Structure 1
């Protein structure tokens, strides 16, 4: 053993000597090197490193990935990690992410190179998921620790974690338990080795004891810093989503490109109109094109003035604003049928400044192909020559313009460039209409529409349609044709149970559907006990994933039983219990969401094309790129840009977008990083970690779609 350690020390020392460092007297403080703002992610294909890479990608933080399973991957050596630029030593990566504390073979020159690099430039290392062992600063679990499932366990951020990289959390870190038959959260709980410089950031109680074991902690040794994570996770699990921000802040010392927020926006479609009600006898919705039973009689659901008052009160209590997508013909028709009276519209107009408003077209007409409803499902009507018969440009334009004029006359605080078409129509819809209505883009340009809603379940990518850029929206599985909880449960049972149980059989025909039921829900309790928790979890997952896309439901869900509120309250209550007040939910309107998504795409394109140069020297951060490009960045509090505070305060840091000019962007940190010193030969390189167990069955869950 002594011979192996000695050999490794010599190899690491040689590698340290091979690294490009500023020249000075040995042991003296070196001039600060240039540290590029890029992360090195070394992956073995496991879910933990993939999760961290996904977090970096979504935030817009540049990273380089090396797949250990690829024979053609680059070799990690001193030259790969560092060089010099303009006579100044350069560290090419500001942080290193490894699958575990040492994923390489014994006596690996690549691990030795990483050790030497981390020591020379004070580069942090994240062990994405590693076994608790002395080489990582922890006791083996067999010595009073634990290895096994943490499903349903509530971990806690320690005082050091709250004062450090996880200060944006309130304290609790609950581990998911979504299935009694699937192990979702395998972990090792252990205490630091005696004498180790190990600081736990997240802990859980070791089963059968009152002791706490570390799940995330910092281990300082041999002139290096490691973030040791001892539980497995994937990118979708709540426990990772809660900790992802802190992992990135720790590894970058709070200085990195990219930014992250927790977004939540809810659009209420069909306001002023009435939504047809689900018929539990016919198992369809009278008034819809696929409900052809001769006994089908529409039964409309429409909000009342009391529902408007309830919405205003709810918003004021929650500090949250709903976006009302309105169809003016609903009010015009109601007045014609009721001697000119429409108390709902009067109350909404009276309270118009309490909400944000979106043009949802005048009549909610279908704006794609003309529908042939003589067959089920419907098909596109055709002209005598066999070509598709499209809704005309004039008809589409009238739907947009008439609704806008009504809203302007009523004094609604509109953004005229925003539009939600009925059922997202005009855009492609499979299988009947595989292309957009060619007249849609023309009509959008006629009306200066710049942001067009799309259904994320059908059209998740942002794209250009005429003058407009799409804004994908998440459909919440609260049905448009349900005003009462019992109706929601009945339709839910019909859709998601088997034919033998009286259901539609959709799940039998499409076994990948994630919301299939083993048995029908109880009509009295199914909504509160099953649907609400599931929809809360799905929506909260989007909120925690730095995903600004809005969610949409319907005005019927604010009427009668007001079934939307338990889900919305569940999301906001859960969020408030998890996050500190420094990290509020960001509630944007549609145009701002569209702008955020569009900036991200432009930024990712520039990063992928290698057009960005960003680095830190001492307390100065420099970013260069194409003029006019918006740059996302996150910096410590006190960072200045041109003498003024950079960005906005969020989650204990300053972050935001800054547009580049022909002059490089320079940010000044409030204090420079700790000076780098040459300490001689590095310490020993630890042996590779034993294989860490990854449980089976960890997968993403996706919400099914509904109509707009």
Structure 2
């Protein structure tokens, strides 16, 4: 179909008449409207709209949410959508997200106002999950034409138009998850475009029983409007949505918006140079650790070898990925003392030190919170005669930090001296035994210039200050520190996550909210590869696809013996590269850089929520104002400049990044290739605007979407 670009032929006077604006708003016929960089999100409480809103939250992209189920909500009319500022017509929203193509009652004036607004300002609309029907540019999904039903396990594909358009960052495949065969986790309406409709499929899947493919995501141009028509349901955790989320936002914003989205992955390997005690399959505890009553059993340490170092360096080279080695110097000192000065592991690691990143993990891995009373299981904080808690002293904490730093420097480790991971994240609060931080921790961190302190995301997920330091939460991988062999991992996993009647700990009976409970014990021979690896891979990859920069952590024991970590890490890295194009790589940051990213995000979100940020576009210029000291984040097309200078860096075909605000407006100049609002609707002789009166039918939402399987959100 022949297409030409529709120019902003409507005069300002016509805009005013269409929107019912005051007559005094007339400016100049050639004046471009102001379009605020904010999205209108209209929700009916369904998971699809909430998923898009979650993506905007993560990226730091502002939006206004209207809940259709809330009494007393604002009415969506011409005045709600647009007004004038300094005599210039203003569109208050650059995009509209609706639950479906028309969520309002028949002949709704709100839907009519939205349609008029979108036509006038060239504002696109996302139909988050809608029925395939002619009103959305698609044929009804009836037998012989389309399909309605589950897509669990189906492989969808990005079309050529999708790759050259908003989904160009994907390699092509969009696999739909099938986590639990007993649970319906997806539902879709697959159909082909109506004959003669200006409809471009971006993502398609095979129609069952036919050779044809049906649209799952496509662009429908009609009546001077543009809609992104999505005909499958999803929640914020599902991989199929996570793959498409960036493209949905880029499509509806034209690639110009506040906020930025990148995918991250970092892995910390704790206890390097030290050894980790081994799980005892007979005692169901770890001799040498605090979980064996009365110190039972004989410790059986797991420690990497020089061959394990060679494997790690080769693996890094093959995957283009750098591990963060979190080290305890005393482990090597003790090894040399016990073996006449020999330590092949340390010799090899030190020789290869430049191939890894290194983080101080304290000298002996001592517990730095309260003094532990380990004569009981679980342990308790020791107390003074007056009942007060006995705390590890400031001097003892400082010695652990400083001694390990000096040891690392003496062997030439390339350190960042302001990073620290305490043993077991100790010193920080740990429930139920120690509900507050060790009061001596903050002063000891100050003594040693620590600015970034690791915390455990499972118990301390929110970034916070501890003395002079800011926490960086880390995701624990469920690959146990006390397992060097797959059979040990499975045995401990079965013990923890099965019922008492099945020989397990019963933790799931006591706490049904535990996300990794097992209906029956795993097979010792196959359970690791068949159950644990896929689950841990999915969880970690889910964090990466959600744009979460927090690092994951494992232990040196997981790189030794059976090298249990590698199948999971391979699953994440190889799985990601099979899904994404080369211009959207996983970003692999060290701990302090992750801390800075999280800190900037928190400050930016606070500024957005406090109303301190305004941003708008007039033609090819974007103006952003933010409080002084707050770093501004934005995504813009390649070729954009900020005050005449380059901005950000390239990722997924766009530029994105942070820039400091001094409290004065920031001005971005977009390239001429970036179409201005109002020029992207179908052009030539515009279709005669028609009334939008027919509400969309109710759509099916299976339980696996409304209530995502718990392991998706675990960690």
TM-score, reference length from structure 1: 0.95
C-alpha distance in 1 between matches for 2:369 and 2:570: 36
Query: Residue 651 of structure 1: CA displacement?
Result: 0.4
Corresponding position of 1:420: 421
2:710 corresponds to 1:701: yes
Q: 1:452-467, aligned counterparts within 5 Å?
A: 452-467=453-468
Q: 1:441-456, aligned counterparts within 5 Å?
A: 441-456=442-457
Corresponding position of 1:100: 100
Distance 1:19 1:120, change over 3 A: farther
| Structure 1, unaligned runs of 5 or more | 1-11
C-alpha distance in 2 between matches for 1:492 and 1:675: 55
How far does the alpha carbon of each residue in 1:509-567 deviate from its partner, in whole angstroms, 9 at most, with x for none? 11221211122111111111111111000000000001000000000000011111010
Q: 1:339-354, aligned counterparts within 5 Å?
A: 339-354=340-355
C-alpha distance in 2 between matches for 1:89 and 1:13: 8
SS of aligned partner of 1:473? strand
C-alpha distance in 2 between matches for 1:24 and 1:640: 28
How far does the alpha carbon of each residue in 1:87-107 deviate from its partner, in whole angstroms, 9 at most, with x for none? 111100000000000111111
2:138 corresponds to 1:138: yes
Corresponding position of 2:5: none
RMSD after superposition: 1.9
SS of aligned partner of 2:385? coil
Distance 1:324 1:484, change over 3 A: same
Tell which deviates more after alignment, 257-266 or 681-690.
681-690
Corresponding position of 1:7: none
C-alpha distance in 1 between matches for 2:574 and 2:493: 25
Query: Residue 339 of structure 1: CA displacement?
Result: 1.1
Corresponding position of 1:32: 32
C-alpha distance in 2 between matches for 1:90 and 1:365: 61
How far does the alpha carbon of each residue in 1:409-468 deviate from its partner, in whole angstroms, 9 at most, with x for none? 111111101000000000000000000000001101111100000000001100000010
Corresponding position of 2:483: 482
8 Å contact kept, 2:123–2:677 = no
2:289 corresponds to 1:288: yes
Query: Residue 645 of structure 1: CA displacement?
Result: 2.7
2:414 corresponds to 1:407: no
Q: 1:243-254, aligned counterparts within 5 Å?
A: 243-254=244-255
Query: Residue 399 of structure 1: CA displacement?
Result: 0.6
Query: Residue 294 of structure 1: CA displacement?
Result: 6.0
Query: Residue 292 of structure 1: CA displacement?
Result: 2.1
8 Å contact kept, 2:19–2:82 = no
Query: Residue 23 of structure 1: CA displacement?
Result: 4.3
8 Å contact kept, 1:538–1:701 = no
Corresponding position of 1:187: 188
Corresponding position of 1:210: 211
Corresponding position of 1:371: 372
Tell which deviates more after alignment, 138-147 or 98-107.
138-147
C-alpha distance in 2 between matches for 1:359 and 1:702: 31
How far does the alpha carbon of each residue in 1:100-147 deviate from its partner, in whole angstroms, 9 at most, with x for none? 001111111111110110011000000000000100000111151000
Corresponding position of 2:42: 42
Q: 1:196-345, aligned counterparts within 5 Å?
A: 196-292=197-293, 295-345=296-346
Corresponding position of 1:642: 643
C-alpha distance in 2 between matches for 1:72 and 1:185: 33
8 Å contact kept, 1:125–1:227 = yes
8 Å contact kept, 2:169–2:580 = yes
Query: Residue 494 of structure 1: CA displacement?
Result: 1.0
Corresponding position of 1:673: 675
8 Å contact kept, 2:481–2:555 = yes
8 Å contact kept, 2:288–2:295 = no
Distance 1:19 1:629, change over 3 A: same
Distance 1:109 1:274, change over 3 A: same
Corresponding position of 1:6: none
Tell which deviates more after alignment, 283-292 or 470-479.
283-292
C-alpha distance in 2 between matches for 1:55 and 1:613: 20
Corresponding position of 2:124: 124
Query: Residue 254 of structure 1: CA displacement?
Result: 0.2
8 Å contact kept, 2:280–2:287 = yes
C-alpha distance in 2 between matches for 1:343 and 1:704: 41
| Structure 2, unaligned runs of 5 or more | 1-13, 680-684
How far does the alpha carbon of each residue in 1:592-618 deviate from its partner, in whole angstroms, 9 at most, with x for none? 000000000000000101111100000
How far does the alpha carbon of each residue in 1:270-312 deviate from its partner, in whole angstroms, 9 at most, with x for none? 0000000011011110011120266500000001111111111
8 Å contact kept, 1:476–1:705 = no
C-alpha distance in 1 between matches for 2:295 and 2:522: 29
C-alpha distance in 1 between matches for 2:50 and 2:289: 44
SS of aligned partner of 2:202? strand
